[in-house]
Structure 1
Amino acid sequence: MSVLPSVAVVILNWNGRGFLEKFLPSVCQSTYGNLELYLADNASTDDSVAFTQTHFPQVKIIRNPFNNGFAGGYNEALQHVQADIYVLLNQDVEVSPGWIEPVVALMQQDPQIAACQPKLRAYYQQDEFEYAGAAGGWMDILGYTFCRGRILYTTEKDEGQYDDVQDVFWATGAALFIRSKCFHEVKGFDADFFAHMEEVDLCWRLQRAGYRISYCPDSVVYHVGGGSLPQGNPRKLYLNFRNNLMMLWKNLHPFDRWIVLSQRFFLDVLAAVKSLVAGKPKDMTAIIRAYKDYHKWRRKYDLKQDHLPWKKLLDMQGVFHGIMIWRYYFLGRKEFSKLEHEKERRMPNA
């Protein structure tokens, strides 16, 4: 009889008393047979730790001395967790019965699957996919991220159209299953990211290390989203732009790097101008500041420090061989299944 892999669900918390009260009961009802639950607290100033200790004594507490964001917070907390598989779960996620078992079973079938995500639906519109991960993350040839079931701000209803197991480019950080040995092998999250896109960067490095990222439709969780920074927040926009540029510089094959980043600069200038014309000067300022801080970061970053092999972007799983924003805005293809025609799937152009 095989032994179940040990699983640790680790919820990173910062002033999330309301979310914990609402969503911890579903997590504590998980039925997986070799499971431990942790609350990793990022120096909260509310009573969320005391609340958890009182009402959910089965949850172990890890206290981080500072709030170093999602990336740094998990890097710190996971030094204190021993398990075969980590499940990094947002504090604003409700899980469904039996949500752990199918993902672990899929990962056990193939040791090359380093990370996997369940189906992510919206908590308040439970028949729809949720922005942060939907049915698995993809990326286009210019580094724009999107999901099966969500392109930009357009989310689809879940009608079973993505109920197939599939390799993807990135798995959502809202409910990320990852082998602990793989997490530490690639040195975890990049703490410079603080929050946003750190899971995409991590999954890219895992692919560069020879692993696969997968999506498991038989597990479903429900995500509120925007719990820390809501959509439209200039701080969120800043982090998304800055972190995306950092990720591209770090991970793109040297042959691709200058080509992609020069095209991105042109498109990001257009985005900044569009923000100003739309009466959103704070958004334009956020984009400019993102570029300024990206260039500061680049002057100190050593590309040799990760020691991972280079891989051409078009040779990786979950990469759309076209320009997503072109298809979305100019061709009106706002659903993943309509993003490309069959004959275009191997064409590396827009």
Structure 2
Amino acid sequence: MQISIDIIVVIYNSERWIGDFLNSLKKQHYPLEKIHITFVDNNSKDKSYDLLNSCIFKEKFGDYTILKQEKNIGFGAANNIAASKTNQSHIYFLNIDTELHQDTLINIVNQALIDEGIVGAWESRQFPYEHPKHYNPVTLEVSWSSAAALLVRRECFQKIGGFDEEIFMYGEDVDLSWRIRAAGYRIHYVPQSIIYHYTFEKSKVNKDNELLNIIGSNLFLRYRYGSFKDIILGYVMCLLWAIKHRNFKFHLKLSQILIKSFSKMFKRKPNNLVANFCGWNYEIHRLGHEFHNSLLLETPLVSIIVRTNQRPEMLREALTTIKNQTYQNIEIIVVEDGFPKSKKLVEKSFKNLNIKYHATIEKVGRTKLANIGLALATGEYFNFLDDDDLLYADHIEVLVTSLINNPSYKIAYSIAFETPTKLVSMNPYIYEEIHYSIEFNSKFDRQLLLTQNYFPIQTVLFAREVYDKLGGMDESMEVLEDWDYWLKLSTQYDFLYIEKITSIYKVPFQKTDALTRKQELIEQTEYIREKYATNNINIPSRQSNFKKKVISNFKINQCEVSKILKFKIKQKY
């Protein structure tokens, strides 16, 4: 089913972007007569209005309207005017400095039609640089969305009163998103819907103005949604910026913003939403925003080996994150230790995936499971995913792209969030993620690898030829079998380091579980030391380091504030 949608675009001195933007709309694999476009020109001084008005194919669209404003009324206010003059069931807000992939509209509208009414908005994925904020890799739910490419259910938009026109620019999409959530709606990320979002060089003055607008909006949102601590911290960050920017004009404008924002303290609106402020950001960020995304011309088969141990509900989440992958040519090998408890789940809920299921009947252990999975895999590349870990939607895409673009490498690894997790209930499967932290983030170094296992198993993708040459894992090991395997592979291959978070690695939060795990790791390290001593490789004692790492799991994750201040972040699903 294909529905009619409104596309609303605000422009201001945007002539350089208009041609490419319109051409990308014209090339959509979506009926152009169902696309109703409304532009709002915020009193541009260049040729933007004339370029829009002279579009030679504007009659192909369902509607093509230009609303000329007598002054620049701001981004949110301009969008509200256009929304009030349109009437389709869904509104797609787009920035003019974007271009749409041919399937952008099909993918985001299809997801909107699948989702129930409780979902109020959907965000497209940005290329070449993905927005780095965290999202739930299972549900694809996100705490806030960028209005550069945001589809909103009209009834939801009207219910919350549209954009807050008091925010001239920057942060208005965060405020809109949080009010959508406060009204009881959810926001979904649609990584298959791609838009190309371009930025350009600005003068130092423009950069300062942009920074000041960001500061002002951030303080406004702290008053509206944050705690008293969040507000105070915002002013402390302003002080740090003032120290950094030793410029009188900047200080004068910043002082005006601080005075204006302080007046909002006395008209703060109560809200039922708990916001996560992270420095000048509004959510924890996934490291790797500078990774350059591109569409692959070749898509070799990737085999993901999923080890599971009688935990179907946990397995369901892991398999769902594979189902959500933007990279489609995937073969899934589910290997269950013991009785086929998860067989029904796999065959019923994931029957549309390219999936193989194998249960060992008798218990064989996690390392034997890995080798069984490797033997069953037929892909050109291999990746592991244990049933309690999760993949972000671009995980396989990032790893495969990196290896294809760097053909001298046969093994690549990315970064993972380490997440202490408190199990609330197994049936139904309910858990709380206490915090997110980056425990391992290092370039490939054989000496470092000899001292610690800094590749969580799901972060590594390797070519079939590596397995064909060096074989599988050491089945005498039950923990740290992956570390032993990476050491084995490192004797013949270099590893390509990708500085982007693409997965979540869960560890036990309960002290008893963590201490048991710690003891197992210490004992297995002794075995690895003795094993590699025969090859004249010395692995230093890691008992003290393991103790240090276990203790670090109980620390509250901190978000860096201007590289000086830190404060607590908690995330709960």
Deviations 1:126-150 (A, max 9, x none): xxx15xxx26x45xxxxxxxxx7xx
Distance in 2, Cα, partners of 1:101 & 1:87: 12
Distance in 2, Cα, partners of 1:182 & 1:170: 15
Q: 2:111 aligns with which of 106, 114, 125?
A: 106
Gap change, CA 1:339 and 1:296, over 3 Å in 2:
farther
Letter in 2 for 1:166: L
SS at match of 2:166: helix
Deviation at 1:223, TM superposition (A): 1.0
Letter in 2 for 1:116: W
Contact 1:275–1:283 (8 Å) recurs in 2 = yes
Verify: 1:49 aligned to 2:16, yes or no: no
Equivalent positions of 1:9-158 (< 5 A) are 9-33=7-31, 34-55=34-55, 56-58=57-59, 59-110=64-115, 111-122=117-128, 129-130=129-130, 134=131, 137-138=133-134
Deviation at 1:68, TM superposition (A): 0.7
Equivalent positions of 1:241-260 (< 5 A) are 241-252=215-226, 257-260=227-230
SS at match of 1:62: strand
Distance in 1, Cα, partners of 2:260 & 2:10: 26
Equivalent positions of 1:1-350 (< 5 A) are 4-33=2-31, 34-55=34-55, 56-58=57-59, 59-110=64-115, 111-122=117-128, 129-130=129-130, 134=131, 137-138=133-134, 166-225=140-199, 233-252=207-226, 257-276=227-246, 280=247, 282-299=249-266, 301=267, 303=269, 310-313=272-275, 319=276, 334-335=287-288, 338=415, 340-343=417-420, 345-347=433-435, 349-350=557-558
Letter in 1 for 2:103: G
* Rg larger for: 2
Q: Which residue does 2:570 correspond to in 1?
A: none
Q: With structure 1 as the length reference, what TM-score do the two structures score?
A: 0.73
Deviation at 1:210, TM superposition (A): 0.9
Deviation at 1:25, TM superposition (A): 0.9
Letter in 1 for 2:254: I
Deviations 1:285-315 (A, max 9, x none): 443332122123444x4526xxxx51333xx
Distance in 2, Cα, partners of 1:231 & 1:211: 39
Higher relative contact order (CA 8 A, sep 6+): 1
Deviation at 1:169, TM superposition (A): 1.3
- The alignment of Structure 1 onto Structure 2 pairs a total of residues equal to 292
Letter in 2 for 1:288: S
Letter in 2 for 1:219: S
Q: Which residue does 1:125 correspond to in 2?
A: none
Contact 1:92–1:227 (8 Å) recurs in 2 = no
Deviation at 1:50, TM superposition (A): 2.6
Contact 1:10–1:86 (8 Å) recurs in 2 = yes
Deviation at 1:88, TM superposition (A): 0.9
Distance in 2, Cα, partners of 1:339 & 1:246: 33
Contact 1:102–1:219 (8 Å) recurs in 2 = yes
Contact 1:43–1:65 (8 Å) recurs in 2 = yes
Distance in 1, Cα, partners of 2:113 & 2:203: 35
SS at match of 2:218: helix
Provide the identity percentage: 22
Deviations 1:206-248 (A, max 9, x none): 1111111111111111111358998961111111011111112
SS at match of 2:104: coil
Moved more, 338-347 or 111-120: 338-347
Q: Which residue does 2:508 correspond to in 1?
A: none
Gap change, CA 1:270 and 1:47, over 3 Å in 2:
closer
Distance in 2, Cα, partners of 1:211 & 1:109: 15
SS at match of 1:293: helix
Contact 2:215–2:280 (8 Å) recurs in 1 = no
